[in-house]
Amino acid sequence: MQKFGFIGMGNMGQALAEGFINSGKVQAEDIYAFAPNQAKLKQNAERIGFTPCSSLTGLTEFCDTIIMACKPYQIEDVLAVLGDGLKSKTLLTVAAGWDYEMYSRYLDCSETKVQYIMPNTPVAVGKGTFLLEEENSIASEDAVQLEEILSALGTVIRIPGRLMDAASAVSGCGPAFFDMVIEAIADGAVKNGIARKTAYELACTTMAGTAELMLKTGLHPGELKDRVCSPGGTTIKGVAALEECGIRNAFIKAVDAVVDK
């Protein structure tokens, strides 16, 4: 069975490890991880079920597929330590900005199979989105197997490298933006007498259901919005209040801010 080795076990690493295990596609005993903070790594290992490693070189000896999940600024040092240890390995990189072109400056991508991936945190519950850069050195049969594993954790979308930043501004950063929407709408409900737990449940299920309705019907979001807005009704008054506050411009600026980082 293929063994996966995580370099870094922060929020995204944990979400991926949990998603792999929960999906049943990867067994806990086939997941290894290294992180400089060994005490925290062991705590996460006990909670999630993966095997902690005490060194980078030890990790690469055990594993066929390496997942680069550390901070982008740490990668040069990691590559310097690993040296030829990545030859014949599959390297999945989830560190922002470290795309195929960047790795090609440091590695012989004909010997190391490199695929730049941008997941988001909902992969932990099988509802994630994976952006896969079209430029890569993964063999076709490996790509099929990879997509099969990732599809168990969510939706897989292939994107040209030049558009990865813009796409990840939506899928990668979007959960934080949508969390803010959920929190704000729930605050409005609490202000008007709804219990906090119920308010969050209302906001979450309504957002999830609305998204599913759009995906299933293929209808434009404006049309779906119009179907809820009766003339002179309550919903259109709420929509007008949101427009007065510049909700559309705020989200467009949020995406621009991420892309223009």
Place of tokens 């430029």: 135
**Residue 239's pLDDT is what?**
97
Mean pLDDT of the 54-66 span? 90
Q: Which amino acid is present at 105? A: R
Chain Cα centroid distance, residue 238: 32
Query: Rounded distance, CA 64 to CA 215, Å?
Result: 36
- Dihedral sign (CA 183, 253, 129, 222): positive
Q: How far apart are the first and last CA of the chain?
A: 40
pLDDT of res. 169: 94
Q: What is the pLDDT of residue 85?
A: 87
Rounded to two decimals, the pTM is 0.87
61/79 Cα distance (integer angstroms): 15
pLDDT of residue 100: 94
Q: Work out the percent of the chain whose per-residue pLDDT is above 90.
A: 85
For the beta carbon of residue 183, count every other beta carbon within 10 angstroms.
13
Domains and their CATH numbers in the chain: 4-159 (3.40.50.720), 174-259 (1.10.3730.10)
Cβ neighbours, 10 Å, residue 89 = 19
Q: Where are the beta strands (DSSP E) in the chain?
A: 4-7, 31-34, 51-52, 65-68, 90-93, 113-118, 128-133, 154-159
Band of the pLDDT at 7, cuts 50, 70, 90? very high
Decide if pLDDT at 1 tops 80: no
Query: 130 CB contacts (<8 Å, ≥6 apart)?
Result: 117, 118, 119, 123, 150, 153, 154, 155, 156, 157
Per-residue pLDDT reduced to its tens digit, 154-206: 999 999 999 999 999 999 999 999 999 999 999 999 999 999 999 999 999 99
Q: Among 12, 1, 6, which residue's Cα sits nearest to residue 153?
A: 12
For strand 128-133 and strand 113-118, is the pairing parallel, antiparallel, or unpaired?
A: antiparallel
Over the chain, what is the mean pLDDT?
Answer: 94
Distance (Å, whole) CA 188 – CA 241: 13
Write the CB contacts of 171 (distance below 8 Å, at least 6 apart in sequence): 118, 120, 129, 131, 157
- 91 DSSP β-pair partners: 66, 114
Q: How far apart are CA 35 and CA 223, in angstroms?
A: 48
Both tokens of 53, joined, read 């490693």
